[in-house]
Structure 1
Amino acid sequence: MPITKITAKGQTTVPREVRAALQAGPGDLLVWEVGPDGTATVRRLQPLDVEYLRALEGTLNEWASPADEEAYRDL
């Protein structure tokens, strides 16, 4: 089990074994997901994920009015 240290700047090195398992290399983006129990998982962001998120981002502002916040507050 590889162990790394977080620097004062919040940086860490991704161990070789983890990079190999993720098939990640220089320039790749990693996604960190934190579960409700405090565990974190990391995966390599696929190019399709980025394109999808950018497309989705442009559609979300129509749901950001004060009336929407009031209507959906308890969901």
Structure 2
Amino acid sequence: MTKTFTYDDVVRYLYAETTQQENALIVEALALDDNLMNFYLDSLELQQQMNRIVRVPSDRVINRALNYSCNYHITQPVELSV
């Protein structure tokens, strides 16, 4: 019986969430199905682009977080009576 792989399976393969046995079958499916291979290559490129995204908070946000942290007062919990 031939297993039909979906785009979801390809994404799982891309993120190493498949077993060794699934890997072999998916690689074979990629070699035989141009649409699946094109999806894999597009997804691989998107993954690489997303990995290059760097998010840096603005100075304003950093200062607000630091200010909040410096002014935060810890209140002691009330002792529970038994």
What is the TM-score normalised by the length of structure 1?
0.29
Q: Which is helix-richer, 1 or 2? A: 2
Q: Which is strand-richer, 1 or 2? A: 1
What is the TM-score normalised by the length of structure 2?
0.27
